[in-house]
Each structure stands twice: as structure tokens, then as C-alpha cells.
Copies of this chain bind each other. A is one copy, B any other.
Amino acid sequence: MSLNIGLLGCGTIGYQVALELISKKFENLNLKKILVKDSKKIRENIDKSLFTTKAEEILQDPNIDLIVEVLGNEQPALDYVLTAINQKKHVVTANKELMAKHGKKIFSLALEQGVHVQMEAAVAGGIPVINTVQNDLKANHITEIIGILNGTTNYILSEMKGGEEFEEALKQAQEKGYAEPDPTNDLEGYDSKYKISILASLAFRKYISPDSVSCVGIRSISKKDFDLAKEMGFSIKLLGRAKLLNDKSLSINVSPYLISLDNPLSQVDGVLNAVEIKGDLVGELMLIGAGAGPKPTASSILGDILTIKNKGHKVFLPYNCKESFVITDKNISKFYLRLEVNDEKGVIRDIGCVLAENGLSIEAIVQKKEIDSACLTLITHEIEEALFFSSLKSVEKLSSVKKISSNFRVL
């Protein structure tokens, strides 16, 4: 079977995909047209005749079998993808926001029209995590997914682990092209939120909206947290995590986590991504690799195209689009808590009492004198997340506590 391909978008990723297709490494894959903003712009090694500025020249061309969507953002990507599916074209997309928000609609329409939609590149770049969850682990009852899903924040946190301050690490990331001029989406965890909701939908086989993911970014982490974490044998990572508590309820969040230094996840530094999947049969499986960049992303996109090329005609829904889960904050976790307290007698006793009243016990504690106050850092034993967050309110009210500086989960 041969496939005629239309490419929507020719930024760094689209350009790389175009080059690979043009190289003729792949039998029977023919790049027919590329949607660009400016068809006059010279793109080395791509024949100008391939360019069009009109989406309909691709979407309405009956000779095109498959579109690759690398535009990013919700619109016009959504309209284009739905139109393509209605025209019975297969879709390969790298668009996490699109698939997180509109996957239900897109997959339902694709089932109706009998075409395939693949999105390996939408999560964790070159790491084949979607295929692993959907196909290789199909026999498993998956119970948990944990991921370092954003290379920008992982780069910044790795630099902070090495001693940089946040602002300096962000500046470096921007200079190296790892962070956008407006880095909000990455820093606030929104990018990770889209990705963990896609992975959770596939793993637990019911659609989970990104809106249901509680989300804390990395601005709340300071260099001081890294120093303290390291002393206690931990590193800090921004994780997306989804955990099935029972058939009906799911804990899902994006948030900074302390990770023990003997867990390989703690060694995944720089722009790398990593995903850990827990299943009843496979146990724990971890995938580590490049989470972004033109080549790793093209690896996934081309893998998807080749999968469609060799697939049968049968189309499956990847998840139940009608039911979902109750999102709960009843997951059990250890917590890291850093407080700025008055440097006076009885502080630890006061805090210990308040925590005990809330059912919280302490596993490790470190107090350090600072200029006008003291820094009290503790790690709790396991507690229901909701209880921990509510007990923070009691801690905050103590006269000896000046400020809750940080509070993160411990993996």
C-alpha cells in the first residue's frame, strides 16, 4: 500500500518530517503538499512546488490519503483535522493540546469514518510511550503512570540541581532554544497537564479531560529546596502522575515531587523525558529518551505513518468516550514541607502537635538557623493528600510559623 501525504505546518518539526519523506528512505510514502504561511520562503532541499498557503488544497484533495498535523495550538488545527477525517484521510498529529482537549471528538469521528488517528509525537517526543501503553501493554491492567513530560522544566530543574538560581536557569533555557519567549505553558505545568491526561486516557481507557488535572508548576521550587532535598537523599522533578485508586476513582496531578536519588527517574536530567508505567503483569516499566526536538519528534511521526501504512482497516476507539473517572484527592503520599519559623524554643513541639492532631506524623526533620528566623524542613509519613493540604491551614495559623515556603509530594 502506498500513501500520499499532506503536511500541515513547516516549522522545525514539519521541516524535518518533510526532509525525511523527501529523502526517499521510505518506500511508498509520497509527500504531496505542504501547508505553509509563506510559500515564497526558501526552505533548503524542499521543492517550492510542494508549498501551498491554502489548507483546502490539501484537505479537499482526494489523492491525499493521510495528513500530518504539526501546527500546534487548538485552532485551526482542530478544524483541519476534523475536515480531513470527514474526507476519509488518516491523521498523524504531534499536537498534545488538540488531542488532550478534543481527543474524544476526534477519535469518535475517525471511528465513524473508518480512518486511523495516531499521536505518538504528542507525548514525550521520541519515546514510544503511546504505542507501549496502547499496544505492547494491552494485556495489562495499568494502575499508574508517572512522567517527566516537559523538557523545558526538566532542563531548568537540572540546572538548579547543579546550583543555578531559577531566573538564571530559565534565561539559559531560552538562549538554548529550550524555552519559549513566553514560557508560561511549560513553567506552569500546562504542557505536562495535556500530556498526562492523554496518557491516563489511554492507560485507563476512559477519556480524562485536562481540566480535571490539578496543576502546580516549577516557580514554587527554590534553590534552597534543592539543597535541602539533596541532604535528605532526594532530587526534585516536575512530574505528571495518574494513579487509579479503584475502578472508579483516579488521582491525577502535575506537581513538583521529591524523588529518591536511587530511583533512576531522579537521574533523568536535562531536556530528557521519562515515563514509568505500572501494570498488573509487567510490574514497573520505565522509558527514558528525548522528549522534544525535530528529529526525535519526526521519529515518532514517521513511525506513526509507517504503522498506518501497514495496518489493517479495522479502527478502534482508544478509550471509552462516554464514561470517565471521579477525580479524587484521597491518594496516599509522603510530603516535603519547608517552613520559615521563629528561631525560638518550642517551635518543633508546636508544629509536631498540630500535625499530630491532623493525623500527620513526621519521618525526617531538619532545622537550620537563618538570619532572623529558622528554616524547618520535614518529610511526613504517608497521608491522604486531602488531609495534608487541609492540615497546612492549621500550620499556617501557628504564631511561630512565619511562612509555608514550599510543600511538595514525595514519590
- Residues on A lying within 8 angstroms of B by beta carbon are 20, 25-26, 120, 126-128, 131-132, 135-140, 262-264, 267-268, 279-290, 293, 295-296, 298-300, 302-303, 305-307, 310-314, 316
Contact = CB atoms under 8 A, between A and B. Distances in A.
Contact of A286 (B132, B287, B313): B287
| Copies per complex of this chain | 2
Given A137-B299, A139-B298, A282-B295, 6 more contacts: A128-B137, A131-B131, A139-B299, A139-B303, A264-B267, A281-B295
A286 B289 contact: yes
Contacts of A26: 139
Contacts of A289: 282-286
Given A26-B139, A139-B306, A310-B312, A290 B282 contact: yes
Contact of A281 (B262, B264, B296, B305): B296
Given A262-B267, A264-B268, A312-B312, A282 B306 contact: no
A351 to B, nearest CB: 35
SS class, residues of chain A in contact with chain B: mixed
B285 A127 contact: yes
Contacts of A306: 135, 138-139
A27 B290 CA distance: 36
Contact of A283 (B20, B264, B290): B290
Contacts of A128: 132, 136-137, 285
A126 B142 CA distance: 13
Nearest to A312: B312
